[in-house]
Amino acid sequence: MKRGSANYVKQMIKVRSLHEKVANQRRDFLHKLSYHLAKDYSIIAVEDLEIRHMVKNKRLSKSISDAGWGMFRNMLSYKCERNGSILLKVDPAFTSQDCSTCGTRVKKSLSIRTHICKGCGTILDRDHNASLNILRKGMEQLDQMMAID
């Protein structure tokens, strides 16, 4: 198939159509998920990730861009505001490395998916451990906000 031929153009139209379909499915899923979260929860804590800097990492770039993290965060932000929910953006530093039980820092690469604490023996999925740390940081941030009021 030569570039510019009729068959090439037809195939390019099919590919473009498939890319558009995937983008629409992603957007639809993110709208539904952000709506559900903003409607059902009064307080939501997320990591305040610098997505622009993360996509510079060649190994992470494709998966981050494909998941639409930035789009999701924007949707969640305006839907929380519209529904009266509080969206807390917490510092992402060491959320997956600090033990959610005792606070011991356990260095690990991204390929290690299980958190095993050398301090207290806690064993959790890496993402579960990080979510507990995000929850704790979010609650601390909320306490600080309440103390100011």
Range of the domain at 57: 1-90
Identify the pLDDT of residue 66: 66
Place of tokens 């997956």: 96
Nearest to 22 by CA among 67, 59, 63, 79: 67
Identify the pLDDT of residue 34: 98
Identify the pLDDT of residue 67: 67
Are residues 25 and 78 both part of a single domain?
yes
Are residues 38 and 71 both part of a single domain?
yes
CA dihedral 137→139→144→146, nearest 10 degrees, is 160
Are residues 55 and 65 both part of a single domain?
yes
Are residues 65 and 12 both part of a single domain?
yes
Question: Which tens digit of pLDDT belongs to each residue from 112-143?
Answer: 999 999 999 999 999 999 999 999 999 999 99
CA atoms within 13 A on the CB side of 124: 19
Q: Which residues of the chain are under the pLDDT cut of 50? A: none
Beta pairing, strands 86-90 & 43-47? parallel
With beta carbons less than 8 A apart as the criterion, state whether 119 and 104 touch: yes
What is the residue-averaged pLDDT of the chain? 91
- Number of folded domains that form the chain: 2
Query: Of the residues 41, 70, 90, which one is the last residue of a structural domain?
Result: 90
Identify the pLDDT of residue 105: 96
**Torsional class of 78: left (φ above 0), alpha (ψ -120 to 50), beta (otherwise):** alpha
Identify the pLDDT of residue 69: 81
